Amino acid sequence: MTDYKTVLLDIDQTILDFNTAETVSLTEALNSFGIKADRTVISTYHEINDRLWKDFELGTVTKDELKILRFERTLKKCNIKLDADKLQKKYTDCLSEQGILLDGAREFLDSLFLTAELYAVTNGISYVQKGRFAKADINKYFKGVFISEDVGVGKPDKRYFEYVLSKVNEKDKSRIIVVGDSLTSDIKGGLSVGLDTILYDVTKTKKADGIIPKYVASSYGEILDIIKQK
């Protein structure tokens, strides 16, 4: 039995607290235009944004379309009179400053970094993700960072993972594992190129038809145990 020597690690809601970052950024952006971001506006945005990212994973919307549609639809549904393009630009600037780590993520990275080569695999806007990585001070843990906007395709597209595999040092797939919180993005993508996968599911409730990870972990400790005990 040998350890996994390379980990392809998802970032949002696996390492960085995207849900909080999203709420803070939307609140700050709307406030800058004199608009209060109440609970209804925030929940509406969350729902619309989540749906559009799923559409992006399916290839039914482009990244450029997603960037503006989420704000156009939120403003329309909440009956807010504001230019969507101006709001999305302000929101993007605010989000790029949000490097909020999930509880225990720093300690997890410190430990994992000692046992494996880490590569970040993340769907997102390059400018935003690079800013958040810098704020969180996590670049030092990664041999490489693969942002979908830079790669040209995103998770779960097989081409994204093929590109990542072409760049990592390890060439033996049996020693590479994908870790992430999304069945339809991280796990589906990893499976598409024949990699072992760990679903990070704190709630132990995630399911998706036909997408079955090799492992499910509900804590960072469980992930570490899986990676070290192959």
Of 207, 198, 5, 217, give the one whose Cα is nearest residue 104: 217
Which pLDDT score, from 0 to 100, does residue 58 have?
87
Q: Residue range 79-106: average pLDDT?
A: 97
For helices 39-58 and 63-77, angle between their N-to-C axes, nearest 10 degrees: 150
Rounded CA-CA distance 200/73 in Å is 30
Q: What does the pLDDT look like over 49-70, one tens digit per residue?
A: 999 988 988 889 988 899 999 9
Q: What does the pLDDT look like over 172-187, one tens digit per residue?
A: 999 999 999 999 999 9
Which pLDDT score, from 0 to 100, does residue 96 have?
97
Q: What does the pLDDT look like over 6-25, one tens digit per residue?
A: 999 999 999 999 999 999 99
Rounded CA-CA distance 197/219 in Å is 15
Q: Residue range 145-168: average pLDDT?
A: 96
Active site residues: 10, 12
Which pLDDT score, from 0 to 100, does residue 2 have?
57
Q: What does the pLDDT look like over 75-92, one tens digit per residue?
A: 999 999 999 999 999 999
Q: Residue range 157-174: average pLDDT?
A: 97
Helical ranges in the chain per DSSP H: 18-32, 39-58, 63-77, 84-95, 105-113, 126-136, 148-151, 158-167, 188-192, 220-228
Higher pLDDT, 3 or 113: 113
Reduced to 3 states (helix: H, G, I; strand: E, B; else coil), residue 61 is: coil
